[in-house]
Amino acid sequence: MQIQREGNLSFGDARLSIWEEGISAAREAGGVRGADAWEKQFKREVFKRIIQTLNRLGWTVGPNLDAEKNYKCIAHGMRWCSKGDLKADLQVSGRSITFEMFQNVNAPDRPDHGGRHQSNKEFHMPYVMRLEMERTRRKIRDYLCAVFTDYKFTPAEPRGMGPGICTAMEKIEHHHASHRNQGRLADFVVPQHNYKSKDGDLLQHGQKVWICDRKGRVLPGTAYYNSGQMWLVVTSRYGYTNVANCEIWTVNPGDLRRKRNEWVRRKRLEALMSAAAARMDFKKAETLKNILFPPQESLYMIWTDRHGGAYFGPNYSGYTSDTTQAGKYTRAELKPYLGDADEKDHLRAVPVRKAA
């Protein structure tokens, strides 16, 4: 005979999660005492059955001694589980239960704490251990769905994109639906705002556009509204990116073979100039300076009193206390931060020759 309970189960990275909504109704009906009674029943009917299933599968389940030592107030809902080299944390908290497995046989990034903080746990698990992990959580899932009347399993959203997984459009449509948007993606009506593109035109949902990727290459694509000023641009069958409206062209910018990566060039040349000056190769430093800036142009660094006092790095990116590594700027390039002044708020323009 099945037990009347409604809940949702899902898989994560070597993890089984269980979630119920009944505690809200119990709290409304009986206040704090009603919620406490619901939690006790949840622990007795669901949490206890998970422990029994683990024991049947050959797992050893006991108290979490570390939690009892450091987190006594919540230790009653935590259990330590092990089967050979495969370990797991089992925890009940309010309306949810999590069963997270991990191992330290292969945890290259985070071998501490038994490997429980290693990212991408399933990927790093040895093959046989991964099979045992999958078998364990599936057995628990199947048992709970058979015992309780309205327990449903929600498959995990496919990770990544590619043949046999999902396309960029499928990924975006799932994203659109998961954000409580009504209707089809193609029929979505963009909120009434002036979302102007990089070339000054108003962006339209589903419009053909052009963007730059991270390496500065210009790519054609189709823009779909995301949220705020952000748009999802599909650039290929299995590729899309999330960009602001001010980074999108509605008209072909031309010269598509040329990379728009001036910031990379600037940063690289400034680094070479700084390195040449540091090793006292002033002739090369002067040559690089003349490539970057007009020969007679006065150069400045931007000092900020914040971050313990530091200079802006090249391209206004990062901070440094080393004047040779600091970004160099012309008077026109100071305007976004200082306007026409030499000092504003916590910022100050420092002439390069004066700093030297």
pLDDT digits (tens, 9 = 90+) for 220-276: 999 999 888 899 999 999 999 999 999 999 999 988 888 888 888 888 899 899 889
The pLDDT confidence band at residue 182, using thresholds 50, 70 and 90, is low
Average pLDDT over the chain, rounded to an integer? 89
Decide: 292 and 321 in contact? Cβ < 8 Å: no
The pLDDT confidence band at residue 44, using thresholds 50, 70 and 90, is very high
Residues linked to residue 123 through DSSP beta bridges, in sequence order: none
Kindly tell me the sign of the dihedral angle through the C-alpha atoms of 83, 86, 90, 96: negative
Tens of pLDDT, residue by residue over 82-96, are: 999 999 999 999 899
Q: What percent of the chain has pLDDT over 70?
A: 97
At 216 the pLDDT is 87
- Comparing CA positions, the residue from 130, 134, 103 lying closest to residue 116 is 103
- Residues 198, 244: Cα–Cα separation, whole Å: 9
The H or E element spanning position 139 is: helix 127-147
Buried b (16+ CB within 10 A) or exposed e, 132-170: bbeebbeebbebbbebbeebeeeeeeeeebeeeebbbbe
Tens of pLDDT, residue by residue over 278-334, are: 899 989 988 998 998 888 888 999 999 988 899 999 888 889 998 888 999 999 889
Decide: 144 and 18 in contact? Cβ < 8 Å: yes
> Mean per-residue pLDDT for 178-187?
69
- Residues 284, 280: Cα–Cα separation, whole Å: 9
Buried b (16+ CB within 10 A) or exposed e, 332-345: ebbeebbeeeeeee
Residue 20 in tokens:
């119920």
At 79 the pLDDT is 93
Residue 79 in tokens:
């259990």
**Domains of the chain with CATH codes:** 3-154 (no CATH), 168-247 (2.30.30), 262-355 (no CATH)
Decide: 224 and 179 in contact? Cβ < 8 Å: no
Residue 70 in tokens:
């450091």
- Residues 41, 56: Cα–Cα separation, whole Å: 22
At 180 the pLDDT is 56
- Residues 351, 306: Cα–Cα separation, whole Å: 19
Residue 331 in tokens:
């008077």
The pLDDT confidence band at residue 15, using thresholds 50, 70 and 90, is very high
- Residue that the structure tokens 């700093």 belong to: 355
At 354 the pLDDT is 59
Sort 194 into a burial class: Cβ within 10 Å, 0-12 / 13-18 / 19+. exposed
The pLDDT confidence band at residue 9, using thresholds 50, 70 and 90, is very high
- Residues 244, 230: Cα–Cα separation, whole Å: 4
At 166 the pLDDT is 86
DSSP E strand boundaries for 159-238: 207-212, 218-227, 230-236
At 2 the pLDDT is 87
- Residues 243, 226: Cα–Cα separation, whole Å: 9
CA angle 115, 15, 102 (to 5 degrees): 20
- Residues 36, 99: Cα–Cα separation, whole Å: 22
